[in-house]
């Protein structure tokens, strides 16, 4: 029987495929992803595709359908099972696979799931994802032929490689880890067993219900349990993961949150000691402090678009040893493979701290102070969100504003800067602003509200969102 399939158009995103299970994403979609992606791999002369899945309730079923689709293309499938997304990337790199697919909903609510893909060691995104839609809709796939499948437990090897780059000696740090019921659970247990110091794991069991809290460490509410535990235990720091452990959250010894750009400043200073003059990449949501501090440390800061695939591609283009996003994706090409890995970022951050006599809170407090909002996310329909940004951008261009359109609109004024962009993974718009002081920030927030009103969008609630940074 001929293969034909139509995806829900909202599921084919810029850098992955994502949807609500049973509504915009189904097992039939998973089979179609395998059938089309496997065809792409096969037509390039590839033979091997690695698959993995996170701890979501729907992930085993989706991965099974995905594998069936891949096998129908005649490829050899290596299944690494349930674990963090970075372990799938590690498998792809070390096995020199022709392709890799991770079934994961990342930091989205429990009802969501999705697919992240790698082709020939590079991110598979943008027009390539749209191409899968075309191949499925037109039935343009390789003829049915039976592939082969095998399972491979890479957890111990992955942990050994994580530990290989430990450079903190034997200093006994006290660390609280919030696994957030993420897919890292079993790997994290093995990792802490190989690190010096005292380790306490919260929510260690992999559980797709996410009973403790939502698996997104960029939201302060989701870090409340970790903060309380760090303070109660007088720990040196706390570390948190998102649902598939490719994003990290950090809490210092005083229970204060370090955001993605602050983490990147500390890591960049360390990396630039061995890579002077290197390009350090951050997304358009990052603080101006980050770009200034990278420059001060002898690096070349580069602002780029949000999205793990987009950042990884830019790193390869520029030879950057380190990149990061406000969302907690940290990408090391220094000693590592260039992909985002919260477990590896944790090892490098802990090593940095162990080599210092200064607590993490002191490093945070020594950073230049600004007043900023966190990322404020507010609902906007998937079919409408990009149009809103384009209409605001057109107005700003017409007015001659100082605006960067690398990712959404980032507007610089004498008060500081504000940003509006459309999320590529959720039906939301994202706003952020940073000013020199509270009064400046208030004016920037009002500018965001006014621009949204011009575009016919109700403003987000910025109240109570001021934070020192």
CATH number, residue 388: 3.30.310.50
Please spell the DSSP secondary structure of 357-383, one letter per residue: SS-HHHHHHTSPP-EE---EEEE--TT
- Do 324 and 233 share a structural domain? yes
Predicted local confidence at residue 424, as pLDDT: 76
Domain end, chosen from 121, 153, 185, is at: 153
pLDDT tier at 463, thresholds 50, 70, 90? low
Residue 429 has pLDDT above 60, yes or no: yes
Q: What is the per-residue pLDDT for 458?
A: 86
264 and 393 housed in the same domain: no
Overall number of domains in the chain: 3
**pLDDT at 92 exceeding the cut of 90:** yes
Determine the pLDDT at residue 344.
98
Q: 348, 365, 382 — which closes off a domain? A: 365
Let me know if residue 74 belongs to a domain.
yes
Please list, in sequence order, all residues whose beta carbon lies within 8 angstroms of the beta carbon of residue 139, skipping any fewer than 6 positions away.
2, 3, 4
Long-range own/partner contacts, residues 269-276 (CB < 8 A, 24 or more apart): 269/293, 269/297, 270/348, 270/352, 271/321, 271/322, 271/332, 271/334, 272/297, 272/298, 272/299, 274/334, 275/299, 275/321, 275/334
Are 109 and 225 found together in one domain?
A: no
For residues 227 and 224, give the distance between their C-alpha atoms in angstroms, rounded to a whole number.
5
Q: Structural domain of residue 456, as residue ranges? A: 371-468
The pLDDT value given to residue 464: 52
Computed over every residue of the chain, the mean pLDDT equals 95
pLDDT, one tens digit per residue, over 382-420 is 889 999 999 999 999 999 999 999 999 999 999 999 999
Q: Which residues pair with 49 in a beta bridge?
A: 77, 99
End-to-end CA distance of the chain: 59
Percent helix, strand and coil across the chain, each to the nearest 5: 35, 25, 40
Q: Is the pLDDT of residue 465 over 60?
A: no
Residue 277 sits in a domain of what CATH number? 3.40.120.10
| 106 classed as catalytic | yes
Within 10 A of 381 (CB to CB), how many other CB atoms are there?
A: 11
Q: Are residues 198 and 316 in the same domain?
A: yes
How many residues make up the chain in this entry? 469
Residue 1 lies in a domain: no
Final residue of a domain: which of 135, 153, 171?
153
Name the active-site residue from 39, 58, 106, 372: 106
Average pLDDT for residues 192-213, to the nearest whole number?
A: 97
225, 202 in Cβ contact below 8 A? yes
């Amino acid at each position: 029987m001929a293969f034909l399939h139509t995806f829900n158009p909202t599921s084919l995103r810029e850098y992955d495929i994502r949807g609500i299970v049973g509504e915009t994403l189904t097992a039939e979609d998973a089979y179609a992803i395998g059938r089309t992606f496997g065809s792409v791999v096969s037509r390039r002369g590839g033979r091997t595709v690695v698959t993995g899945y996170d701890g979501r309730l729907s992930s085993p079923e989706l991965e099974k359908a995905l594998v069936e689709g891949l096998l129908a293309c005649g490829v050899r499938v290596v299944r690494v099972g349930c674990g963090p997304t970075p372990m799938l990337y590690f498998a792809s790199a070390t096995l020199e696979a022709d392709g890799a697919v991770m079934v994961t909903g990342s930091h989205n609510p429990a009802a969501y799931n999705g697919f992240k893909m790698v082709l020939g060691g590079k991110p598979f995104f943008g027009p390539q994802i749209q191409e899968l839609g075309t191949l499925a809709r037109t039935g343009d796939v390789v003829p049915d032929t039976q592939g082969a499948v095998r399972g491979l437990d890479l957890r111990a090897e992955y942990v050994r490689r994580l530990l290989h780059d430990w450079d903190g000696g034997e200093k006994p740090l006290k660390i609280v880890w919030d696994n957030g019921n993420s897919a890292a659970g079993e790997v994290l247990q093995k990792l802490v067993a190989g690190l010096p110091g005292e380790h306490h794991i919260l929510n260690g069991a992999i559980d797709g219900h996410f009973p403790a809290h939502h698996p997104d460490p960029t939201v302060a509410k989701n870090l409340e349990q970790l903060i309380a535990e760090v303070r109660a235990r007088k720990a040196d720091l706390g570390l948190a993961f998102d649902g598939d452990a490719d994003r990290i959250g950090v809490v210092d010894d005083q229970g204060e949150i370090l955001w993605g750009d602050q983490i990147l400043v500390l890591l960049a200073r360390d990396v630039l000691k061995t890579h002077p003059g290197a390009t350090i990449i951050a997304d358009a949501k990052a603080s101006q402090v980050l770009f200034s501090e990278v420059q001060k440390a002898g690096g070349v800061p580069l602002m780029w678009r949000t999205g793990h695939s987009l950042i990884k591609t830019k790193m390869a283009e520029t030879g950057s040893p380190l990149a990061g996003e406000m969302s907690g994706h940290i990408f090391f090409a220094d000693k590592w493979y260039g992909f985002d890995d919260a477990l590896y970022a944790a090892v490098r951050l802990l090593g940095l701290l162990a080599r210092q006599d200064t607590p993490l809170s002191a490093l945070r407090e020594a950073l230049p102070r600004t007043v900023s909002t966190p990322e404020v996310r507010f609902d906007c329909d998937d079919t409408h969100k990009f149009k809103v940004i384009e209409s605001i951008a057109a107005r700003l261009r017409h007015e001659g504003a100082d605006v960067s359109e690398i990712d959404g609109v980032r507007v610089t004024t004498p008060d500081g800067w504000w940003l509006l962009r459309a999320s590529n993974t959720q039906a939301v718009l994202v706003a952020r602003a940073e000013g020199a002081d509270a009064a400046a920030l208030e004016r920037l927030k009002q500018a965001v509200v006014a621009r949204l009103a011009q575009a016919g969008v109700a403003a987000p609630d910025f109240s109570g969102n001021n934070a020192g940074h």
